């Protein structure tokens, strides 16, 4: 998703119950995870809460790491290896 101002996230997941989440995909380490989280928080701040609900979750999907965790700012960091059937 990209808005008219160039703010973007890599994926938006819409659930059947109307909830949604924003996802940034970053392959690298801490610097890129931080960048992805910052982008997600900026996008969340631009959402007009009078017109739609806040996202249910913000997630940075990363290519590294052994486990998923939730950061102090509420952004989930999830290694791609954690997404198994």
Position 22 in a domain: yes
Position 23 in a domain: yes
Position 6 in a domain: no
pTM: 0.89
Position 4 in a domain: no
Position 77 in a domain: yes
Residue 20 belongs to what domain range?
11-82
Position 53 in a domain: yes
Q: What is the mean pLDDT of each run of 10 residues along the chain (85 residues)?
A: 80 94 94 96 90 94 94 97 82
Position 3 in a domain: no
Q: Note the pLDDT of residue 85.
A: 62
Instruction: Give the total number of structural domains in the chain.
Output: 1
Position 65 in a domain: yes
Long-range contacts of 10-18 (CB under 8 A, 24+ apart): 10/61, 15/56, 18/53
């Amino acid at each position: 998703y990209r808005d008219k101002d160039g703010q973007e996230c890599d994926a938006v997941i819409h659930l059947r119950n109307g909830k949604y989440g924003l996802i940034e995909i970053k392959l690298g380490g801490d610097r890129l995870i931080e960048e992805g989280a910052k982008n997600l928080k900026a996008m969340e701040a631009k959402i007009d809460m009078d017109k739609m609900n806040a996202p249910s979750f913000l997630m940075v999907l990363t290519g590294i790491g052994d486990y998923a965790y939730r950061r102090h700012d509420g952004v989930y960091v999830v290694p791609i290896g954690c997404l198994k059937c």
